[in-house]
């Protein structure tokens, strides 16, 4: 039997990432560096929100959100984070690398970090970014997953030019662009929302615990054909819920699903098949909403936020997304919110951008994802 010569075999992920044995030193600015801990949440929050204000970002974070970042069970703060403190012990820079346990088709490492505006221009950002990229390569190499790899970072459209140049010099390329959209809800008599009648056995019902994991399975199916998306584990799905607004959230279930046909369909994933056999509800679409109170003053008005909206691929074209989004906007308005808001990939394959435009959403802000593909 013929065998492929070792020299002709594709390089493994561990070989492709060229991970350094030792991380770069952090010496710029005379800062002292150490890993982050949960006790640093307050200082991290202050620095993160100061940077957001100076750089014109329309977001602010709460202490609960920061604690959720630090408490994620899959995060190794000791190895994957660094804080830079000045001689007085004041936080002046931070960086961490984030990976997700559910990645099954591409192993991703996301870079997050910032330098205090008063300490920019001292080379701190360059050294910190080099440390993050090197650590990301180490994480990918040690993942044990011989898959394509990606090192990625997000930049707001308002980000200062030196930060964009930092990414470009390191070989990062813009891959995706995102739009932050809003829809005015203050006069629904003059600008009404659509009324949707779902067909067959489809029923729109409030979100509750019974539908939580079935919604995760629907999400994993809905986003399987979305660029950059990977399946979410139960831990990922249930994490970071300090802003979750279940009273504004809903799901669409199929009350009479074609179980045998779905079990015979090769596109039905193993978890969904097991849930169907167990008689769990089949969630075919979901709208999960959030309340980002910290952002109200920044935007100048209150708003309800659509964190996640998706429809199983086999159920697209049946107005499920419109029904869910309209229900969400009505819930926002009933809750006293002045606007509805969401974020969308401008190249979303399900046509979501066109859907939002047809419902009156307009762009307020933008961001991009830059990556190195490995």
Taking only the tens place, the pLDDT of each residue in 11-60 is 899 899 999 999 999 999 999 999 999 999 999 999 999 999 999 999 99
Give pLDDT, residue 102. 86
* Helices 124-141 + 161-169 axis angle, to 10: 40
pLDDT for 346 beyond 80: yes
Percent of the chain with pLDDT over 70: 96
Give pLDDT, residue 350. 60
Q: Which two tokens stand for residue 63?
A: 């202490």
**Residue-wise pLDDT tens digits, 169-215:** 999 999 999 999 999 999 999 999 999 999 999 999 999 999 999 99
DSSP character string of 112-154: EEEE-GGGTTSSHHHHHHHHHHHHHHHHHHTS---S-EEEEEE
Cβ of 366: how many Cβ atoms within 10 Å?
15
Say if residue 160 is exposed, middle or buried (CB neighbours under 10 Å; 0-12, 13-18, 19+): middle
Q: What is the pTM of this model?
A: 0.91
Domain 11-171, CATH = 3.40.630.30
Beta-strand relationship, 283-290 and 250-254: antiparallel
CB 156 within 8 A of CB 112: no
Query: Which residue intervals of the chain bear CATH 3.40.630.30?
Result: 11-171, 179-366
Mean pLDDT score of the chain: 93
pLDDT category at 351 given cuts 50, 70, 90 is low
195, β-bridge pairs: none
**Residue-wise pLDDT tens digits, 49-92:** 999 999 999 999 999 999 999 999 889 999 999 999 999 999 99
pLDDT for 6 beyond 50: no
Distance CA 295, CA 291 (A): 9
Q: How is domain 179-366 classified at the CATH fold level?
A: Aminopeptidase (3.40.630)
């Amino acid at each position: 039997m013929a065998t492929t010569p070792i020299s002709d075999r594709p390089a493994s992920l561990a070989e492709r990432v060229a991970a350094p044995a030792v991380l770069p030193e952090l010496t710029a600015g005379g800062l002292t560096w150490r890993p982050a801990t949960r006790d640093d949440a307050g200082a991290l929050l202050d620095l993160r929100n100061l940077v957001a204000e100076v750089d014109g970002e329309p977001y602010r974070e709460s202490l609960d959100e920061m604690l959720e970042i630090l408490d994620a069970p899959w995060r190794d703060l000791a190895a994957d984070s660094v804080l830079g403190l000045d001689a007085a012990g004041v936080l002046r820079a931070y960086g961490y690398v984030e990976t997700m346990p559910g990645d099954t088709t591409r192993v991703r490492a996301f870079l997050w970090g910032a330098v205090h505006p008063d300490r920019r221009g001292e080379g701190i950002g360059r050294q910190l970014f080099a440390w993050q990229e090197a650590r990301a390569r180490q994480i990918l190499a040690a993942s044990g997953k011989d898959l394509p790899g990606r090192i990625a970072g997000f930049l707001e459209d308002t980000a200062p030019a030196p930060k964009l140049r930092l990414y470009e010099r390191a070989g990062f390329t813009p891959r995706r662009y995102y739009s932050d959209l809003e829809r005015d809800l203050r006069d629904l008599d003059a600008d009404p929302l659509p009324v949707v009648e779902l067909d067959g056995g489809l029923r729109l019902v409030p979100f509750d615990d019974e539908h939580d994991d079935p919604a995760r399975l629907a999400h994993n199916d809905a986003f399987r054909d979305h660029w950059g998306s990977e399946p979410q584990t139960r831990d990922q799905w249930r994490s970071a819920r300090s802003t979750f607004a279940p009273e504004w959230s809903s799901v669409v279930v199929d009350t009479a699903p074609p179980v045998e046909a779905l079990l015979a369909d090769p596109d039905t994933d193993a978890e969904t098949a097991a849930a169907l056999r167990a008689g769990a509800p089949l969630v075919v679409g979901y709208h999960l909403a959030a309340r980002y109170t910290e952002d109200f003053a920044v935007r100048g008005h209150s708003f309800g936020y659509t964190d996640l909206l998706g429809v199983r691929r086999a159920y697209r074209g049946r107005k499920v997304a419109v029904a869910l989004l309209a229900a969400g906007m009505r819930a926002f308005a009933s809750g006293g919110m002045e606007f509805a808001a969401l974020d969308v990939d401008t190249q979303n394959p399900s046509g979501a951008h066109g859907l939002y435009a047809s419902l009156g959403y307009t762009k307020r802000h933008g961001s991009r994802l830059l990556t190195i593909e490995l």
